[in-house]
């Protein structure tokens, strides 16, 4: 009789659970809107990184491949948007889509030869990609103004209406981040998403079931690049200034910390990770010189007790709840 009760309760429970992260994100954003512009800026970064990591999660989480070079596509998005909007007066949204298309094409061109590599070799090749684009942003001063950076980038807007305050922009970023997560979730729960997961699980089994793994890897790589590019463009509009360091190795390291902390391969892991890794150092500012130590100590603590990321914990809670229900 218990099994019957469980079945009737389960669907409502799943729906409630699925909505919980959305509520959490809205609460975090709401908290930001009631705080200073400084807090808003930190949260803005968090949601930009949410988009970046959600894309990276396609390639590294769902498909199980390594890319150390996604910052390259963020740079294309960031510099593309900066140049098109500041110098040529493009609509920010139009520039966002145009640079996404450009990043997508670049990802196909780069991905086609490099995705034949696996594991560490693929990591090295993609890392080189990130470094090359980083060098280009420094050296090609005619296009990027080098170390000087690019300023005067207009804020996000649509059809002449600009989001002038950072709070308005934060709202836009939250909406876009949630949209990005929703798209990722939809793609994962489909034949396409299952094919990606099969590659992460076992390439030989995927092949034996007729999955064209070279093609699916490339598509996952391109999707990750599209997200990265959008994140780069949004960064440019949000801060109004970009320089080569923004899209350097730090970006890669940050995004990895976010992915693993939040839970790689999960729907909400990138969001959770992005928010925690962005907010935590700021929250620990009171510790003064102990700030970095406190921050890393918490990261290590989380990874010890939640080795599969914080999003993995919810599954654990779900199981405990399930057991309690069975016992009842």
Partner 1 sequence: MALLSVREETMRFGGLFANQSISFDVEEGELLAVIGPNGAGKTTLFNVISGFFPPTSGSIQFDGKDITGAPSHQVASAGLVRTYQLVQLFKHLTVAENVEIGSHRVTRGGVFSALFRPEWMRKQEKNVCEGARELLRFVGLEHQADLQADKLPYGRQRLLEVARALAAKPRLLLLDEPAAGLNTQETEALADVITRIQRGGTTVILIEHDMSLVMKIAQRIVVLDFGKKIAEGTPDEIKAHPDVIAAYLGGTETVDA
- Per CB under 8 A, contacts with partner 1 among 288-327 are none
Residue 198 touches partner 1, criterion: CB under 8 A: yes
CB 50 within 8 A of CB 110: no
Q: Tell me which residue has tokens 């994140």.
A: 231
Which part of the chain contacts partner 1 (CB under 8 A), choosing from 65-73, 77-85, 207-215, 230-238?
A: 207-215
Rounded CA separation 287/231 (Å) = 31
Which part of the chain contacts partner 1 (CB under 8 A), choosing from 91-99, 182-190, 228-236, 284-292?
A: 182-190
Rounded CA separation 255/245 (Å) = 15
Rounded CA separation 198/192 (Å) = 10
At 306 the three-state DSSP class reads coil
Strand partners, 241: 151
Which part of the chain contacts partner 1 (CB under 8 A), choosing from 14-22, 76-84, 133-141, 211-219?
A: 211-219
- Per CB under 8 A, contacts with partner 1 among 248-287 are 265
Which part of the chain contacts partner 1 (CB under 8 A), choosing from 47-55, 87-95, 184-192, 298-306?
A: 184-192
What string marks each residue from 73 to 112 as x (binds partner 1 by CB under 8 A) or -?
----------------------------------------
Q: How far is CA 290 from CA 251, 296, 307, in A?
A: 23, 10, 25
Residue 11 touches partner 1, criterion: CB under 8 A: no
- Written as six digits, the tokens of 163 are 């989001």
Q: Of 160 and 204, which has the nearer Cβ to partner 1?
A: 204
Report how many residues bind partner 1 under the rule CB under 8 A. 28
Q: Of 14 and 94, which has the nearer Cβ to partner 1?
A: 14
Q: What is the dihedral of CA 31, 34, 36, 38, to 10 degrees?
A: 30
CB 47 within 8 A of CB 272: no
Residue 124 touches partner 1, criterion: CB under 8 A: no
Which residue ranges make up the site for partner 1 (CB under 8 A)? 183, 186-187, 189-195, 197-198, 200-202, 204-213, 219, 223, 265
């Amino acid at each position: 009789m218990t099994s019957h009760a469980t079945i009737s309760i389960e669907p409502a429970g799943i729906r409630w659970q699925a909505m919980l992260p959305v509520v959490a994100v809205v609460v975090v954003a709401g908290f930001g809107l009631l705080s200073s512009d400084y807090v808003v800026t930190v949260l803005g970064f968090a949601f930009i990184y949410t988009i970046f990591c959600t894309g990276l999660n396609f390639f590294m989480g769902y498909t199980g491949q390594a890319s150390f070079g996604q910052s390259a596509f963020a740079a294309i998005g960031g510099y593309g948007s900066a140049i098109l909007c500041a110098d040529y007066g493009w609509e920010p949204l139009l520039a966002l889509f145009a640079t996404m298309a450009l990043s997508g094409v670049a990802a196909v061109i780069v991905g086609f030869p490099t995705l034949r590599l696996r594991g560490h070799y693929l990591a090295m090749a993609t890392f080189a990609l990130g470094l090359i684009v980083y060098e280009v942003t420094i050296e090609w001063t005619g296009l990027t103004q080098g170390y000087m950076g690019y300023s005067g980038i207009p804020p996000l807007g649509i059809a002449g209406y600009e989001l002038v305050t950072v709070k308005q922009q934060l709202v836009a970023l939250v909406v876009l981040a949630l949209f990005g997560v929703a798209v990722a979730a939809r793609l994962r729960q489909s034949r396409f998403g299952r094919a990606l997961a099969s590659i992460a699980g076992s390439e030989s089994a995927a092949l034996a079931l007729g999955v064209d793994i070279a093609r699916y890897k490339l598509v996952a790589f391109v999707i990750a690049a599209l997200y990265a590019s959008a994140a780069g463009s949004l960064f440019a509009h949000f801060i109004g200034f970009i320089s080569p360091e923004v899209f350097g190795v730090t970006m890669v390291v940050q995004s990895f910390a976010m992915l693993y902390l939040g839970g790689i391969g999960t729907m909400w892991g990138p969001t959770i990770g992005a928010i925690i890794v962005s907010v935590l150092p700021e929250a620990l500012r009171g510790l003064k010189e102990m700030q970095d130590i406190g921050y890393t100590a918490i990261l290590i603590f989380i990874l010890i007790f939640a080795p599969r990321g914080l999003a993995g914990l919810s599954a654990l809670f779900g199981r405990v709840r399930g057991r309690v229900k069975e016992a009842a």
